[in-house]
Structure 1
Amino acid sequence: MVSLLREMVLIQSGSHNKPGVDQVAGFISQTLAPLGLELTRHPCPAHGDILLAETPAAGDRDNILLVGHMDTVFPKGTDFNWFKQDEENCYGPGVVDMKGGLVIGIFALKLLSQRGLLADIPLRFIFNPDEEIGSPVSRGLISREAKRAALALVLECGGTKGEVVTGRKGKFGFKLEVKGQAGHAAYAEAAKPSAILELARQIIVLEGLNNRMPGLTVNVGQIEGGIGPNTIAPNAKALVDVRFSTPKELDFFHSSLKEATETGLIPGTSVQTEPTSQRPAMDQSQGNLKLYQVLAQVAALLGQELDHEFRQGVSDANLIAAQRTPVVDGLGPLGGKDHSDQEFIVTKSLAPRAALFTLSLLECSRLCQTGVFTSPLRRAAL
């Protein structure tokens, strides 16, 4: 498992590095080729290709959907381009987010194939190239497959104590752009039409929304604008990240944003907003909790304790949950410090999580075939 992990981590596959992501897809295809799966590459001109693996038993509905992403946050040419291992951990770009999860998924399929069990499990596995930037090209396929899946499992990393994920916050990202009027700084008056000044006012309003509702967080993470210090700024913009737990919190934010961008503007300035990414909140639904209980029972058979959590960040599980398909995330290995050059994985967590995932696939397959879990398409037909 570590050998496979090392090979994948050493392939630089930042979200915008199409050749690198495609190389990961090719490597995974080569690894899965002996298992009797149908492998399909969905070409994506501007991003890495999507890889879909499916068993002969996969049909139009009541499948098990597996999802894992091949991209990382580290751009091509990053200095964080190495893999190393000590007595406890492995380190490298994407080692826990989420190439370690891909390794667990691949080894589960390999083991099931060796035992002659894989072909009869109705399973589709989406390896997507763009999760770290909001899954713009893969979200359509993920949503379509979620509709005909009885349940879904996502291989993002586990919690600090091995918890799996039954709920997540939603995300709304947008660009806020301000237009002003250029002029000479020497003749500027107090009410000058500066885009930077108006942007500063908007930032104070937006950041002031933090803690106004329990699950709402707002972060103005990047700004730029202006021409030079001796010119009144004719333009300025900011990139903003919003997280929320309920639709009510998102509605509150949108109404607050509308008020801020339409009233009290500095004369001579205007404000426009443009969405850049969005994922709905993933509720801790009854279906998710029911699926978690199945996984917890499997863990008990292995002598493992398995708790669950509501996680602050988003993933492709949010897209699956929006289709009313039971989904549990966080089935990957343990680790931490993802999105940094100190990213690591706890090496000894690989084998137990692979065992849990393998037996969970068997049990979930049995429950799908006996009708305990059914796809949204089947529920609609009934």
Structure 2
Amino acid sequence: MISDISTYIGTHKQDLYTLMETLVLIQSYSRNKAGVDRVGQYIAGIMERIGFSCEIVPQQDLGNHVIARSPAAAKDPKGQTLITGHMDTVFPEDSTFNWYKADDTKCYGPGVADMKGGLVVGIYALQALVDTGHLKDLPITFVFNSDEEIGSLSSRELIAKEAKHARLAYVLEAGGMRNDIVTGRKGNLSISLEITGKAGHAAFAGKDKASAILELAHKTLALEALNQPEKGISANVGTITGGIGPNTVPDRAEASVDFRFLSFEDAEGVQQRLDEIINTPTVPGTSTRVQPVSGRPPMPQTAGNMAVYSKIETLAHKLGTPVLSELRQGVSDANIIAKQGIPVIDGLGPVGAKDHSEDEFILKDSLWERTILFANILTEI
């Protein structure tokens, strides 16, 4: 634990809140390329001023990604520490949730928790290391991506590539309300199903009618039977549409389905059963087409993750901000990193909750507390 880091951050608390307010007030909905690019340009300017080299990875329709490298990482990324954080939020450009405010205990605004507060933690932890002389020869690469909230489809390959050079990684999503940090996450797969049958008048339909809705009903029961909560496996048929009226045999039906799983083995098992269900019609004359919508691999609580967590737990205890390990149900870019087989810890951003809603907040003091913790993590682990 390095005392001058705590002193430095303690004297720059207001700067952290100022930066967070600035970032929060830049509208950066995932589909708002201009807004996300403004966030990226602002961040790149800061990172360059503290001695990092920045690469802008241009995107045509979405915001550009920014890769910031310390001098040591720019020279040789092998064995680097990888940090990731996303610049986009879920709130559309016309959202009325376009303000920032703070009181004595909390800060509120779009992205304070998910995850502009986390970006501030990472940026100021690195600035503290630079200004106190502790960055030295640490090879650190910070990926600021633009599309996490819509599946990281344009950045996942970039993140995976950087992870292949890394010895370990940190993701700065918000910490849990018990001061949790994330040591594991479920993976997910979201799909859409389209059932095709044969239309006809209901008055003349026999037992052999090729009803798309009837086939979808059978498939819904089969998919829901995949739920195994004791193993952390969930399957949910979330929406269903089909048919044009009660007097017509429906020739089309559609459904959206979400799966969650804890391990790579369970992910493979879910995929195998899904293939069997899709390729086995119950109603003659019907067929099924499946379209993947999004997905991320699981982030298991590996021995490597838990070994890094143990070291963080010790540091946090010494700093007077003890942490807890969390297995989080949702997904993040940590899932993408986990697939590369390196230790990854998530939830290192400020403590917050109610993200993706207009009640989103962080605990005010956790912004600088987590910045101190993260700076020490980077130097000590």
Both structures adopt the same fold (TM-score exceeding 0.5): yes
Residue matched to 2:216? 199
Which of 356, 365, 378 does residue 339 from structure 1 map onto?
Answer: 356
Superposed CA deviations along residues 140-183 of structure 1, whole A, max 9, x for unmatched, are 11111111111111101112211111111111222211112233
Question: How far did 1:26 drift?
Answer: 1.4
Residue matched to 1:369? none
Determine if the alignment matches structure 1 residue 289 to structure 2 residue 306.
Answer: yes
Residue matched to 1:306? 323
Determine if the alignment matches structure 1 residue 328 to structure 2 residue 341.
Answer: no
Counterparts of 1:265-280 in structure 2, within 5 Å, are: 265-280=282-297
Question: How far did 1:191 drift?
Answer: 4.6
Question: How far did 1:109 drift?
Answer: 1.6
User: Partners in 2 of 1:344 and 1:289 — Cα distance?
Assistant: 28
* Structure 1 alignment gaps of length 5 or more: 365-382
Percentage identity across paired residues of the two chains: 49
**Which secondary structure does the structure 2 equivalent of 1:52 belong to?**
strand
User: Partners in 2 of 1:182 and 1:274 — Cα distance?
Assistant: 23
Deviates more, 1:183-192 or 1:96-105: 183-192
- Given that 1:55 and 1:119 are in contact with CA atoms closer than 8 Å, whether structure 2 keeps it comes out as no
**Which secondary structure does the structure 2 equivalent of 1:338 belong to?**
coil
- Given that 2:47 and 2:53 are in contact with CA atoms closer than 8 Å, whether structure 1 keeps it comes out as no
Against the structure 1 CA distance between its residues 14 and 272, is the aligned structure 2 distance closer, same or farther, given a 3 Å change threshold?
same
User: Partners in 2 of 1:247 and 1:8 — Cα distance?
Assistant: 36
Determine if the alignment matches structure 1 residue 46 to structure 2 residue 61.
Answer: yes
Residue matched to 1:13? 28
Question: How far did 1:308 drift?
Answer: 1.3
Root-mean-square deviation (CA), in Å? 2.0
User: Partners in 1 of 2:230 and 2:264 — Cα distance?
Assistant: 12
Superposed CA deviations along residues 109-165 of structure 1, whole A, max 9, x for unmatched, are 222222233353210000011112221111111111111111111101112211111
Deviates more, 1:185-194 or 1:340-349: 185-194
Determine if the alignment matches structure 1 residue 172 to structure 2 residue 189.
Answer: yes
With the length of structure 1 as denominator, give the TM-score of the two structures. Answer: 0.89
**Which secondary structure does the structure 2 equivalent of 1:57 belong to?**
helix
Residue matched to 1:241? 258
Residue matched to 1:105? 122
Against the structure 1 CA distance between its residues 232 and 8, is the aligned structure 2 distance closer, same or farther, given a 3 Å change threshold?
farther
User: Partners in 1 of 2:234 and 2:352 — Cα distance?
Assistant: 25
User: Partners in 1 of 2:243 and 2:81 — Cα distance?
Assistant: 52
- Given that 2:181 and 2:325 are in contact with CA atoms closer than 8 Å, whether structure 1 keeps it comes out as yes
With the length of structure 2 as denominator, give the TM-score of the two structures. Answer: 0.89
User: Partners in 2 of 1:309 and 1:81 — Cα distance?
Assistant: 31
Against the structure 1 CA distance between its residues 208 and 299, is the aligned structure 2 distance closer, same or farther, given a 3 Å change threshold?
same
Residue matched to 1:24? 39
Which of 75, 84, 108 does residue 91 from structure 1 map onto?
Answer: 108
- Given that 2:215 and 2:281 are in contact with CA atoms closer than 8 Å, whether structure 1 keeps it comes out as no
User: Partners in 1 of 2:39 and 2:200 — Cα distance?
Assistant: 51
Determine if the alignment matches structure 1 residue 148 to structure 2 residue 165.
Answer: yes
Against the structure 1 CA distance between its residues 161 and 221, is the aligned structure 2 distance closer, same or farther, given a 3 Å change threshold?
same
Counterparts of 1:361-372 in structure 2, within 5 Å, are: 361-364=378-381
Question: How far did 1:265 drift?
Answer: 2.5
Q: How many residues end up aligned between the 2 structures?
A: 364
Which of 38, 50, 67 does residue 35 from structure 1 map onto?
Answer: 50
Residue matched to 1:131? 148
Against the structure 1 CA distance between its residues 119 and 52, is the aligned structure 2 distance closer, same or farther, given a 3 Å change threshold?
farther
- Given that 2:77 and 2:139 are in contact with CA atoms closer than 8 Å, whether structure 1 keeps it comes out as no
**Which secondary structure does the structure 2 equivalent of 1:157 belong to?**
coil
Against the structure 1 CA distance between its residues 91 and 204, is the aligned structure 2 distance closer, same or farther, given a 3 Å change threshold?
farther
Determine if the alignment matches structure 1 residue 56 to structure 2 residue 32.
Answer: no
- Given that 1:36 and 1:119 are in contact with CA atoms closer than 8 Å, whether structure 2 keeps it comes out as no
Question: How far did 1:212 drift?
Answer: 6.3
The one-letter amino acid of 2:79's match is: D
User: Partners in 2 of 1:101 and 1:181 — Cα distance?
Assistant: 52
Against the structure 1 CA distance between its residues 154 and 180, is the aligned structure 2 distance closer, same or farther, given a 3 Å change threshold?
same
Against the structure 1 CA distance between its residues 47 and 229, is the aligned structure 2 distance closer, same or farther, given a 3 Å change threshold?
farther
Question: How far did 1:195 drift?
Answer: 2.3
Question: How far did 1:363 drift?
Answer: 1.2
* Structure 2 alignment gaps of length 5 or more: 1-15
**Which secondary structure does the structure 2 equivalent of 1:132 belong to?**
helix
The one-letter amino acid of 2:270's match is: F
**Which secondary structure does the structure 1 equivalent of 2:127 belong to?**
helix
Question: How far did 1:213 drift?
Answer: 5.3
**Which secondary structure does the structure 2 equivalent of 1:159 belong to?**
coil
Deviates more, 1:110-119 or 1:151-160: 110-119
Residue matched to 1:371? none
User: Partners in 2 of 1:220 and 1:80 — Cα distance?
Assistant: 30
Question: How far did 1:336 drift?
Answer: 0.6
The one-letter amino acid of 1:150's match is: R
Residue matched to 1:67? 84
Residue matched to 2:174? 157
**Which secondary structure does the structure 1 equivalent of 2:31 belong to?**
coil
Determine if the alignment matches structure 1 residue 360 to structure 2 residue 374.
Answer: no
